[in-house]
Chain A
Amino acid sequence: MILKGTAHKYGKNVDTDVIIPGRYCNLIDPVELGKHAMEDIDANFVKKAKPGDLIVADTNFGCGSSREVAAVALKGAGVAGVVAKSFARIFYRNCINTGLPIFESAEAVDAIEDGDTITVDAANGIIHNDRTGKEYKATQLPPFMQDLIKMGGLLRYVEKQLAEKQSA
């Protein structure tokens, strides 16, 4: 899968309260959630982000609440993936479980400027900055997590577990 879009760059500790504020957590529809994505850190985000764009951020992206609607809201807003120096752990799990591609690369984040067009080879974790022509390699996910993603997410893995239990 190749992701290509404009990079929207943010700083450290982007928390789930600014990704999707608590006042919208009574919503569960991805499109409705998407209308408020990033609202409290960047009121213009939804207006300027085009489907397929990517978020680029510093360390500890997604810290705070376990609200899975944070990952869902980003997907609902058309965000194709997030490149960050590091991710908070619950958000990280939620992305793997819900299929929002995430990439860890400090070098890429430092080299990407807000508004750059970037191209990401998701399967191989290669991040290409179209402006500079330079490439960066994201930290590889452990094999188990790669398998989860290949299977289509956690629920497909659970179906396999249930089927094995039934036939045992």
Chain B
Amino acid sequence: MPRPMTMTEKILAAHSGQAEVSPGDIISIKLDLVMANELSAAVAITEFRKIKGATKVWDPDKIALVPSHFTPNKDIATASLSKMMRDFANEQHITNYFEVGRGGIEHVVLPENGMVGPGETIIGGDSHTTTYGGLGAFATGVGSTDIAAAFATGLMWVRVPPSIKLIYEGKLRPFVSAKDLILRTLGIVGVDGATYCALEYTGPVVKELPISGRFTMANMAIEAGAKNGIFPVDAVAEAYCAAVGKKNYTIYHADPKAEYQNTFTIDCSQIEPQVAIPFLPENTHKNASQLSDIKVDQAVIGTCTNGRIEDMRQAAEILNGRKVHPDVRAIVIPGSQKVYKQCITEGLTEIFIDAGCVVSTPTCGPCVGGHMGVLADGERCISTTNRNFRGRMGHVKSEVYLAGPYVAAASAVAGHICGPEQLRETAHA
């Protein structure tokens, strides 16, 4: 009998052809999917060309290339990077190249196209590749040289991570979303509390979460320093796979006696809508309702963390029949063309435009200080993105406050940081 293993250990063992693996082992794993965007691909392609003996990629069907960060191209330098990726996709006959207008943000696009599934190993040239753990995959972000190596071989060296178990108990209060759960988690675990580790999200609360919420939480595993974040696979995950046409996957369950480096039990009944203040995602010491003295100049709703249709619906629920504050620019960015179209079909786009929001084509844009909402000196943004580091969205003296779609939308209306319930009270006062 192999040793009792966690989900992550079982997936890694299966992909390295071993009966068992232990934390600390350095193994070579077979990859099911390798992803890059225009920024990471440009460097990866440059490195790939330097590999003697590598003229063709190992499998053109198992590589996904997604222009997303500074696209539609914001300047000539970006256009050159995008072109390099497009030319490489043509040359190598890459099956899954998602041109602008036919894709969006990679971490929204790949799942909705049935390209990621339970039990798979996925690496991406983007730190938020951890997203796919929401569906029970081992998924991790790497740099461009690792991507170049994987293009050539379909393999990657991995140090097997110890696992940390997170148990979410209690009952969610109104307007508390998956984003609030992960922000609170970061406040507890810390930005380097899970360095080199796997985060396993469990407990009755996450069982009730839709896959979109699980993606949001797995997305920000990297914000605790984790290698990957992973959710148990249940009927909700299987229904999602069926809906997007994902087939041929393997479900792994953690053994009851699997070893965890640490376990955190989080009482969700106590969690209010959260805000992470500058300049670290772990700065969640105050709730949205306690930060009403913080005025905001901009609100961003979207990105790989919160750019799915469920997130758009949360924002629309708040913005319906209301107006964005005169001093605020509200920028709504559906994460993919599919989400964009669904916003139109469901009438959400009309709600956003009537409220006075910009509705942008899918892009990572402002989250990385690229375009579509860069901040000036001294400006503040409430944002559903994932990082509030110094200068992240623009000027080094600008500030980003992280929150979920309900809080970002409520703050856009109020003109200052505001919880959804406070907005209601203000309106009735």
Contacts and interface: CB of A to CB of B under 8 A. Distances in A.
A150 to B, nearest CB: 15
B99 interface: no
Contacts of B344: none
Nearest to A17: B389
Nearest to B125: A66
Interface stretch (A47-55, A91-99, A111-119): A91-99
A151 interface: no
A17 B390 contact: yes
A71 B146 CA distance: 14
Interface residues of B, number: 56
Nearest to A67: B39
Interface in A16-45: 17-18, 21-23, 25-28, 39-41
Q: Which of A63, A88, A161 is the most central at the interface, judged by chain B CB atoms within 10 Å of its CB? A: A63
Given A28-B43, A59-B192, A23 B143 contact: no
A122 interface: no
B142 A40 contact: no
Given A60-B191, A68-B143, A97-B146, A159 B127 contact: no
A144 B24 CA distance: 12
Interface residues of A, number: 46
A134 interface: no
B429 interface: no
Contacts of A93: 142-143, 146
B189 interface: no
Interface in B157-188: 157, 159
A163 B195 CA distance: 34
B70 interface: yes
Interface string B357-370: 00000000000111
Contact of A26 (B78, B124, B143, B374): B78
Interface string A128-168: 00000000000000101100000001110111011100100
B196 A25 contact: no
A163 to B, nearest CB: 6
A155 B51 contact: yes
Nearest to A165: B153
A124 interface: no
Interface in B366-397: 368-370, 374, 387, 389-392, 394, 396
Contacts of B141: 66, 90
A94 B141 CA distance: 11
Contact of A89 (B42, B149, B196): B196
Given A18-B390, A68-B145, A158 B51 contact: yes
A24 to B, nearest CB: 9
20 contacts: A17-B369, A17-B391, A21-B391, A25-B69, A28-B42, A40-B391, A60-B192, A65-B387, A66-B124, A66-B142, A67-B40, A68-B143, A72-B43, A86-B195, A89-B195, A144-B26, A144-B157, A155-B51, A155-B145, A155-B149
